[in-house]
Copies of this chain bind each other. A is one copy, B any other.
Amino acid sequence: MGVYIQVLEDLQSQQQQVIPSEKLAEKCEVNSSQIRKDLAYFGEFGVRGVGYYVTDLLQAIKHFLGIDRNWNCILVGVGNLGRALLRHRQLPQKGFQIRMAFDCDPFKIGEHVAGHEVVCTRRLKEKAQLMQIDIGLITTPPERAQRAANHMMQAGIKGIINFAPTRIHVSSDVTVDYVDFSNHLISMAFRLSHP
């Protein structure tokens, strides 16, 4: 689904107003009926004989996915990866604002990264509750990920994305998503080994 947005935004910036599923499929490298099925799932947006109106479609997809609004995020673990995310300009562009950054290292507390002051993790609950935080990003070492998740849950955060390569345990009303690059490297190694 994310690919559709990527490609449609490209088309939009190229001023292309309409695109048929066949062409969109090519750009997304998927089957065209796949696209039609996916899009039909949340409404009739195409026009027979014409195709899909890029802008309308984008808006419809974004609304359906819940990304036609801003989401407040916090980040715990201002290390290599944490800094990269804090400095990543595309996240706020897409409606995901990292509102605060936390770390437990006294040398990092007080530092500023991309306009964010790094705050002590112990103050997470207190700080995060001042603002309605939707999503927490964990970029601590794996052995600290559970602790970071606990802090987030105490602050009432219901969505956690864990970049540390370890499973975490959360209560049933919290959604966790795992991001692990090494899976992509592994998958690549496999494909290169079995040509």
Residues of chain A touching chain B, judged by Cβ–Cβ distance below 8 Å, are: 1-3, 5-7, 10, 27-29, 64-67, 71, 73, 80-81, 83-85, 87-88, 90-91, 94-96, 134-135, 158-159, 161, 165-167, 175, 177, 179-194
- CB nearest neighbor in B for A163: B181
Q: Which residues of B contact A159 (CB under 8 A)?
A: 188, 191-192
A135: chain B residues within 8 A (beta carbon): 185, 188-189, 192
User: Please, which residues of chain B bring their CB within 8 A of the CB of A183?
Assistant: 1-2
Whether B90 and A80, one on each chain, are in contact in the complex, defined by CB atoms closer than 8 angstroms, is: no
**Taking the nearest CB of chain B, how far is it from the CB of A112, in angstroms?**
15
* Secondary structure class of chain A's binding surface, majority of residues: helix
Establish whether residues A188 and B177, one from each chain, have CB atoms under 8 Å apart when the complex forms. yes
Residues of B within 8 A of A166 (CB): 6, 10
- Smallest beta-carbon distance A42→chain B, Å: 11
Q: Contacts of A179 on B, CB cut-off 8 Å? A: 181, 184
A193 touches B66 (CB 8 A): yes
Please tell me if the beta carbons of A185 and B71 are within 8 angstroms of each other in the complex: yes
A10 to chain B, nearest CB (A): 7
- Measured between beta carbons, the chain B residues less than 8 angstroms from A189 are 65-67, 71, 95-96, 134-135
**In angstroms, how far is the closest chain B Cβ from the Cβ of A24?**
12
Contacts of A83 in B (CB 8 A): 80, 84
